[in-house]
Amino acid sequence: MLDYNHKPKPGEQITTLIDAALVAENEATPPRDYLGGSRLGVACERALQFEFTAAPKDEGAGFTGQTLRVFAIGHQLEDLAIHWLRAAGFDIYTRKGNRPDGEQFGFSVAGGRVRGHVDGIIAAGPEGFGLAVPALWECKTMNAKNWRACVKDGVTKSKPVYAAQIAVYQAYMETSVPGIATNPALFTAINKDTAELHHELVPFDAALAQRMSDRGVRILQATDEGELLPRIASNRDFFECRFCPWASRCWEQPS
C-alpha cells in the first residue's frame, strides 16, 4: 500500500537531486553517430541497428541515475587499475604521448562509421615477466557473480561480448600498432564488490574478429538500404528481448 504521507528524508532528497542531474546530463549528451567496435559482439543485430541509428528507446527504458552512477564508478576503477599496473612495473599507454590531455588510442574504419577506443596499450612488462608486447589492455568491472564466472570459465566463454571487442580491437589496431594482433591481449576484470582482480592473457582470434567485422558491414549495409535485420528470437519472451530497451519498437515491426 502506498504511503501518501511519506515525506522524503534529506538523504533521499539529495540522492534524487543527484540522479535527476545525472539523467538530465546524459539525455543532453548527443548520441554517437557511429557503430561502436565494443558493441559488435552483442547478440542481436537488430538491437545493434537500433543503437547505431539512435532509435528512441521504449518509454522508461533509459538509464536511471543509479545506473549512470554505476557506470561512473566503473570508469574510476579502470583509472585505478592503470595506476596499479604502472606501480607494478607495466609501461602502459592510455593516450598518445601518455599525457592526460592526449588523444585516446583507437581506430576508425568504414569512413568513420565503425570506431573504437582502447583502454590501453602495454609497451613493456615488469622485468622478467616475459610479456609479449605491444599488447592490447582491456579492463572491465563486474559484480561478484559475473567476476567469479569470468575467473572460472575465462572471458571468451563467460563474456563473449568482451571477447569480441578484444578480437576486433586487436585486428583494427594492427595497422597503427604493428604486432598488437600477434601478441595476446591482457584482460583485467575488477570485482566491484571485493576489489579482487583477475588478469587473463587472450590470444588473438582472427576468425572471431572477421565475423564481427562482417557483422558491422551487414549492419551498415542494411541501414543504408532501409532494411531491418532479423530479430534474435521468434518469441518476445526470449531472455535477450525481455531486457532490450527497444523491445516494443522491435516487436511492433514486421518480422
DSSP type of residue 59:
T
Q: How confident is the model at residue 8 (pLDDT cuts 50, 70, 90)?
A: confident
| Residue 10 confidence (pLDDT) | 77
- Given a cut of 90, whether residue 217 has pLDDT beyond it is yes
Domain ranges for the chain: 26-251
In 80-229, DSSP assigns E strands to 91-93, 106-109, 114-117, 120-124, 135-142, 185-191, 197-202
Placement of cell 592503470 in the chain: 82
Q: How confident is the model at residue 132 (pLDDT cuts 50, 70, 90)?
A: very high
Distance CA 225, CA 234 (A): 23
CATH of domain 26-251: 3.90.320.10
Which amino acid is residue 94, in one-letter code? T
> Which of helix, strand or coil describes residue 134?
coil
- Given a cut of 90, whether residue 110 has pLDDT beyond it is yes
Q: At what angle do helices 160-173 and 206-224 cross, to 10 degrees?
A: 90
Distance CA 129, CA 85 (A): 13
| Residue 216 confidence (pLDDT) | 97
DSSP type of residue 104:
B
Distance CA 188, CA 98 (A): 20
> Which of helix, strand or coil describes residue 5?
coil
Q: Are 204 and 159 in contact (CB under 8 A)?
A: no
- Given a cut of 60, whether residue 29 has pLDDT beyond it is yes
| Residue 6 confidence (pLDDT) | 64
Instruction: Encode 146-166: b = buried (16+ Cβ within 10 Å), e = exposed.
Output: bbbbbbeeebbebbeebbbbb
220, three cell numbers:
551498415
Report the Cα 144 to chain-centroid distance in Å: 18
| Residue 61 confidence (pLDDT) | 82
Q: Which residues contact 38 (CB under 8 A, 6 or more apart)?
A: 116, 161, 165, 168, 169
